[in-house]
Amino acid sequence: MSRFLKTLLIAGLLASPAAAGKLNLGRAALPAEVAAWNIDVRPDGQGLPAGSGSVIDGEELFTDQCAACHGDFGEAVGRWPALAGGHDTLAEERPVKTIGSYWPYLSTAYDYIFRAMPYGDAQSLTPDEVYQLVAYILYLNDAVDEDFILNKENFTSIALPNTGSFRLDDRDNTEYPAFSRGVCMTDCKPSVQITGRAIKDTASNTESE
């Protein structure tokens, strides 16, 4: 069928009385389906599930499920990403950006690990397991002691070392007004003087000024 006919057909369907107000396509998502999608965890702790996990338990789980790629101490194996270290490297030519050296919010670690890890078996971890892993990664980054237990309640009290180096994007209020001022198009400068040229003056391109 030509694209034109298809478009007409779809337009016709949409305009039909049956579709008025309601498309009669699909069905409303079930609460369990919405919950399965709604897994984001935010810097203020919104979205964190109930649960807790210790550094000690995290070490065992990390060794089993993560160390093959990320290294026993988060130092990375081969070219897989490092999860620890890199402190004081941010100003270097090749900064090592890890959860400890670079990330502004711990919530991203929780969100990301639950959402995407272990690589190839995403979303297989329970909330307690994710708390354990995040606690262990904090320990690897010298942010907590080995007897530390991370839970929903103390989560937002953990500050990562680099948090203060991030600024809110305020370009809406700063750059945008500066760049959207009216632009002068005529007689903007009293006199124009040429101060440099892309090519050296030669007889053929020298203009009389």
Q: Note the residues at the interface with ligand HEC (CB under 6 A).
A: 65-66, 68-70, 80-81, 83, 98, 109, 112-113, 117-120, 133
**For ligand HEC, the closer CB: 33 or 40:** 40
The terminus-to-terminus CA distance of the chain in angstroms comes to 67
| Distance from C-alpha of 200 to C-alpha of 90, rounded to nearest angstrom | 42
Q: Which two tokens stand for residue 197?
A: 């040229």
37, 49, 116: which is closest to 81 by C-alpha? 116
Shortest distance in whole angstroms from residue 166 CB to ligand HEC: 15
Contact by Cβ (8 Å): 169, 104: no
103, 102, 100, 114: which is closest to 47 by C-alpha? 114
The residue number whose beta carbon is nearest to ligand HEC equals: 66
| Distance from C-alpha of 156 to C-alpha of 119, rounded to nearest angstrom | 26
| Distance from C-alpha of 175 to C-alpha of 181, rounded to nearest angstrom | 10
**For ligand HEC, the closer CB: 56 or 69:** 69
Shortest distance in whole angstroms from residue 117 CB to ligand HEC: 4
**For ligand HEC, the closer CB: 12 or 95:** 95
**For ligand HEC, the closer CB: 33 or 60:** 60
| Distance from C-alpha of 60 to C-alpha of 45, rounded to nearest angstrom | 26
Shortest distance in whole angstroms from residue 57 CB to ligand HEC: 13
Shortest distance in whole angstroms from residue 48 CB to ligand HEC: 16
Shortest distance in whole angstroms from residue 67 CB to ligand HEC: 8
Shortest distance in whole angstroms from residue 207 CB to ligand HEC: 55
**For ligand HEC, the closer CB: 116 or 202:** 116
132, 163, 126: which is closest to 150 by C-alpha? 132
**For ligand HEC, the closer CB: 80 or 166:** 80
